[in-house]
Homo-oligomer: A and B are copies of this chain.
């Protein structure tokens, strides 16, 4: 497989963008990434998006966007795997470039969720779960995660307050990111007194509905060396795995097999172990998902994820900084864009451009994008060496 690197990144602020259309949002990020890369042409476009068909009455985003950014003749498709659509689009583009079929590819993650009601969004999100055995029974995504968190607390003896640091860290980091949805720190008291959504998940355990777009330009390392204006960020590991789409279909609901499996293969490709990872942009759509992801990827023992958070290990100064620019919780979770935001933010850290969020001396960063309740997990490892 040909070596591939990131040569350009771009993103919009995550917000309620009522003033911009879907194509404008996506276009802003796409053109920013191309300008950052210093190139005017790409060979293929891969769009990560989950819900534009319903929320914006627009599918066919490959043609829709290639036209808008002034390259109507390039190839262009949408890749969808629920909340991991962004990571999946990146991986499809990576394989296209690695095959030699395309020299340069543009990956754009975009989601515009606030044009419709919260109830419509909740219904649309539920299409990521099993229509027959989950959604039609009335369980929402918050509901599924609440069941997991409740069971986790019961099984391992944690209290709800023990999860506070996931939200505190995310919001503190969001305060340093001018593109984050929430740019203010929160207090422990605010976490503990936050409005309950679906017990034990309160509003500080859940990531917000948002609009946003993020984009990256990738090319072969060989081509990158001759065109790159920016430091090249190398992709040293990439793997994806599914799991039973239903939570009840898994042997052990508290162990994310797909996260474990994709991380293990990515580590093997990169020839490294968890101790070599300097920071981790994980999928903290809910506090419980952050916990389970840390455990599956080898950063905490089973049932000990909250301990890592309580001890400060997830903070910028800790053993494995997570959500360094706010994560899904504070940067926001524009669904199909999230996986690409994670990659843009990782590239920012590795290029030393993370501003107030910059972690010192970082060499290797990891991203993990999770679709559904752990049923589609895409892991990437990047290096600036």
Contact = CB atoms under 8 A, between A and B. Distances in A.
Interface of A: 1-2, 21, 44-45, 50-51, 53-54, 56-64, 66-67, 72-82, 88, 92, 95-96, 98-102, 124, 126-132, 135-136, 238-246, 249, 257-258, 261-262, 371-372, 375-376, 378
A101 B60 contact: no
Contacts of A95: 92, 95-96, 99, 101-102
B99 A82 contact: no
Nearest to A240: B75
Please state the number of chain copies in the assembly: 2
A63 B99 contact: no
Among A77, A80, A88, A257, residue most surrounded by chain B Cβ atoms (within 10 Å): A77
Contacts of A56: 131
B92 A242 contact: no
Given A1-B100, A73-B261, A128-B60, A67 B372 contact: no
Contact of A127 (B53, B66, B126): B53
B371 A72 contact: no
A327 B190 CA distance: 62
A238 B96 CA distance: 12
A136 to B, nearest CB: 8
Contacts of A130: 58, 64
A62 B262 CA distance: 15
Contacts of A59: 50-51, 80, 82, 127-128
16 contacts: A57-B136, A58-B127, A58-B130, A59-B82, A60-B127, A63-B375, A72-B243, A73-B241, A73-B261, A74-B242, A75-B240, A77-B240, A79-B79, A92-B92, A98-B100, A99-B100
A131 B92 contact: no
Contacts of A79: 77-80, 92
Contacts of A2: 99
